[in-house]
Each structure stands twice: as structure tokens, then as C-alpha cells.
């Protein structure tokens, strides 16, 4: 048993599950986006804005944003504990990553509901 | 027939300031001998060369080493299987401290093995004779109990290289599942609880280096997957 306090779910099992579930959500979102762009070759602002003005698309997008935030935190936390052996450097890296994820998430919410 | 070129990792901390590779030439007289036989012939040329060996038939697990980049047991690996372009490079198992030449300090490997409590635990009163198991339950231990703890798998695993003090490693986890799968063991809950942190088991990224090198043909990745399933079904 190894104790950790900086990983996302405090447990390897929950981190593992979060990583798998978020990966599925991101895959679905990515496939949807690619298909949408393929089926709208002459995409203009009105169509794009119209897509994101619908509640279901905002919920779907927010779900994808939260998924990428969780996915990035679990993944980069793992990378940092593999390769950054000095505690100060590792903690600084984790703090920067966490701050960036938080900023991008809040910004994403503002973009979705602000327009 | 040309002679075989063998390059061997040498390091004696008492006399060498740094490890170096020493070149040897060996006339195998065209026979496809085992790497261990070749090492023994080299030992005749230079008796200062150190390696571990015992049973010479793949049962004791002493002579695990890195042969042309792949871990395996020297005693059951024929030259024809590893030699490329008439060259053979022998190095100690990667990731463990070198004591001398091809001899590594297995301390951290054994410590991880110890951490999974590799012995049967049963809190019920023992019967007069022995704890019986159905043939079906006994079958579940096949592919698990055969491990000889040679450390070829764990020392081929990058997750073990980076965190040997925290990640149990494929060998230890295979044995962890050997006791989780045993119908006679009653400590399942405690065993699982010790493995659910982000390092002990979940540092496995499933790259299957362990499966690729296991000289006994075992599958630690599959065992790790089974433990994950047990953890998941307990916790959801």
C-alpha cells in the first residue's frame, strides 16, 4: 500500500476507471466532431454558433471538457511520478498542470455559456 | 566456421571506477549450445568473470540476464535463439543494482514479492488432514504457481524501473493473483486493499514486456487484469 495525495481520485482503482471512462467520452466527442465537420463542408459562423447554442451540445461539450481535464490530470500525474524524482520539481509540475487544467476548464465553461 | 563474438558487461566495484564491456571470442565448434555453456567456456578464459547459476535447466531461476537486449535464462536459451550477426551482448538484468559483472542485487525485487504476502492465509480452523480443493479450483492456479522468481519480467518492465520501491512488478503481482485465486485463501479482501493505490498494481500500463520475456511462458499481464477485475467488482 502506497499513500498518495496528489492523484485525482486518491485511489489507483478510481484513477484507472476515470481514465477509461473519460477516454470513451473523448473518443465519442472526437468522432462526432470529425463527422460534423465532414458533413458541413462550407461551415459558416451561423451554423457553428447554432450548434453550440443548443443545450444538448453544451452539455455534451462540457462533459468532454471535464473528461479531458480528468484524463489529463491522471495521465500527467502518472508521467510526473514516473520521471520527476525530485519532490520539489514534481510538486511544482503538478501544481502548474493542475492550475492550467482549472483555467482551461473555467474558460471552456465561459466560452460555452458566455456567447 | 567463424568464432562467436561475445561482449560482456564487466564491473567489479572494488577495482573498477566504472562498468565496461569486455570482448571475448569463442569457438563453439558449430554446436548450438546454451548461453550458459558459452559463459562457462568464457569463465575458462577469464576466471574473474562473475555470474549466478545453479540448476542449469531453467528451474532455479538464478541465471536471468539480458542477452542481446532481451531478458531470459541463459541456461535454457540456445545461441541460435539470440545471436545476431555472430554477435552476443550479455548484460545484467536492467534496473537492479549491479553487485559484480552479471550479478545483480535482487533485494528490491524480493521486497516487493514479500509485500504481497506470498503464503496461504486462512482464518478457519484447519481440518484434521488437509484443506481440500476441487479439481476445478486447483485448475485456477495453473499458469500462476509455476513462477520461479528469476526476475526476468520485472526487470523488463519500465514501470518497475521507474518505481521499484512502489510498483510491485509483474512477478509479485502474478503471485498476488495466485493467492487471490486460491479457493483455500480467506484474506482476499485484505490482499485487494493493499493493491488499490495508484502504484502497487495500477502502475502497470499493460505493455506486456513481462509476457514477452517470461522463460516459463507465464502471463503476468493477464493476472494483473484479473486482479483489476476483482478490485472493480468489489468497489462498484
Tens-digit pLDDT profile for residues A20-57? 999 999 999 999 999 999 999 999 999 999 999 999 99
Residues of chain B in contact with residue A87, where contact means CB-CB under 8 angstroms, are none
So where are chain B's domains? 4-104, 107-235
pLDDT of res. A2: 77
Q: Which domains does chain A have, with CATH numbers?
A: 12-114 (1.20.1300.10)
Query: Which residues have a Cβ under 8 Å from the Cβ of B135 and sit 6 or more positions away?
Result: none
Site from B111, B190, B198, B202 to mutate, A interface, most A CB atoms within 10 angstroms: B198
In the predicted model, residues of chain B with pLDDT beneath 70 are 1
Tell me, what DSSP letter sits at residue A94?
A: H
Q: Scanning every residue of chain B, which has its alpha carbon at the shortest distance from the alpha carbon of A85?
A: B162
Which three cell numbers mark B42? 568464457
Task: Give me the residues paired with residue B64 across strands.
Answer: B73
> Are β-strands B4-10 and B87-91 bridged in parallel, bridged antiparallel, or unpaired?
parallel
Q: Which CATH number does B107-235 carry?
A: 1.10.1060.10
A–B CB contacts, 8 A cutoff, strictly below: 49
Q: Is B112 on the interface with A (CB under 8 A)?
A: no
Q: Average pLDDT over chain A, rounded to whole?
A: 94
Q: Is A83 annotated as a binding residue?
A: yes
Instruction: Give the 3-state DSSP-derived string for B11-57, with helices as H, strands as E and coil as C.
Output: CCCCCCCCCEEEEEEECCCCCCCEHHHHHHHHHHHCCCCCCCCCCCC
Residues of chain A in contact with residue B196, where contact means CB-CB under 8 angstroms, are 11-13
Q: What is the pLDDT of residues B154-176, one digit of tens each?
A: 999 999 999 999 999 999 999 99
Which three cell numbers mark A107? 474558460
pLDDT of res. B1: 52
Q: Is A40 annotated as a binding residue?
A: no
pLDDT of res. A115: 62
Tell me if B196 and A13 make a contact (CB, 8 A cut-off): yes
Query: 465553461: which residue's cell?
Result: A109
Q: Are B122 and B131 in contact (CB under 8 A)?
A: yes
Q: What is the pLDDT of residues A47-102, one digit of tens each?
A: 999 999 999 999 999 999 999 999 999 999 999 999 999 999 999 999 999 999 99
Yes or no: domain B4-104 corresponds to CATH 3.10.20.30: yes
Tell me, what DSSP letter sits at residue B85?
A: T
Q: What is the pLDDT of residues B187-219, one digit of tens each?
A: 999 999 999 999 999 999 999 999 999 999 999
CA distance A67 to B11: 49
Which three cell numbers mark A64? 468532454
Q: Shortest CA distance to B137 belongs to which of B175, B184, B176, B173?
A: B184
Tell me if B197 and A11 make a contact (CB, 8 A cut-off): yes
Closest approach of B164 to chain A, Cα-based (Å): 11
Q: Whole-model pTM?
A: 0.92
Q: Which of A1, A16, A83 sits opposite B202 (nearest CB)?
A: A16
Amino acid at each position: 500500500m502506497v499513500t498518495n495525495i496528489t492523484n485525482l481520485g486518491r485511489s489507483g482503482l478510481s484513477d484507472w476507471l476515470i481514465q477509461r471512462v473519460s477516454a470513451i467520452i473523448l473518443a465519442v466527442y472526437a468522432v462526432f466532431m470529425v463527422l460534423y465537420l465532414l458533413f458541413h463542408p462550407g461551415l459558416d459562423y451561423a451554423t457553428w454558433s447554432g450548434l453550440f447554442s443548443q443545450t444538448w451540445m453544451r452539455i455534451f461539450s462540457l462533459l468532454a471538457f471535464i473528461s479531458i481535464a480528468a484524463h489529463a490530470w491522471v495521465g500527467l500525474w502518472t508521467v510526473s511520478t514516473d520521471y520527476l524524482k525530485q519532490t520539489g520539481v514534481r510538486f511544482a509540475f503538478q501544481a502548474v498542470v493542475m492550475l492550467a487544467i482549472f483555467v482551461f476548464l473555467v474558460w471552456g465553461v465561459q466560452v460555452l455559456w458566455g456567447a | 566456421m567463424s568464432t562467436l563474438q561475445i561482449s560482456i558487461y564487466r564491473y567489479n566495484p572494488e577495482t573498477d571506477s566504472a562498468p565496461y564491456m569486455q570482448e571475448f571470442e569463442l569457438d563453439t565448434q558449430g554446436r548450438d549450445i546454451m548461453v550458459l555453456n558459452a559463459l562457462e567456456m568464457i569463465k575458462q578464459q577469464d576466471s574473474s568473470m562473475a555470474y549466478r547459476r545453479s540448476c542449469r535447466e531453467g528451474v532455479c531461476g538464478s541465471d536471468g540476464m539480458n542477452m542481446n537486449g532481451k531478458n531470459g535464462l541463459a541456461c535454457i536459451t540456445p545461441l541460435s535463439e539470440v545471436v545476431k550477426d555472430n554477435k552476443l551482448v550479455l548484460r545484467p538484468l536492467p534496473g537492479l543494482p549491479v553487485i559484480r559483472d552479471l550479478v545483480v542485487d535482487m533485494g528490491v525485487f524480493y521486497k516487493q514479492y514479500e509485500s504481497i504476502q506470498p503464503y496461504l492465509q486462512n482464518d478457519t480452523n484447519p481440518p484434521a488432514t488437509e484443506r481440500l480443493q476441487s479439481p476445478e479450483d486447483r485448475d485456477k492456479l495453473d499458469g500462476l504457481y509455476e513462477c520461479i522468481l528469476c526476475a526476468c519480467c520485472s526487470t523488463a518492465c519500465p514501470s518497475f524501473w521507474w518505481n521499484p520501491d512502489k510498483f510491485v512488478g509483474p512477478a509479485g503481482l502474478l503471485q498476488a493473483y495466485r493467492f487471490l485465486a486460491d479457493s483455500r485463501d480467506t484474506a482476499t479482501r485484505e490482499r485487494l486493499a493493499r493493491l488499490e493505490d495508484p502504484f502497487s498494481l495500477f502502475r502497470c500500463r499493460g505493455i506486456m514486456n513481462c509476457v514477452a520475456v517470461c522463460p516459463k511462458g507465464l502471463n503476468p499481464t493477464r493476472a494483473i487484469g484479473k486482479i483489476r477485475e476483482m478490485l472493480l467488482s468489489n468497489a462498484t
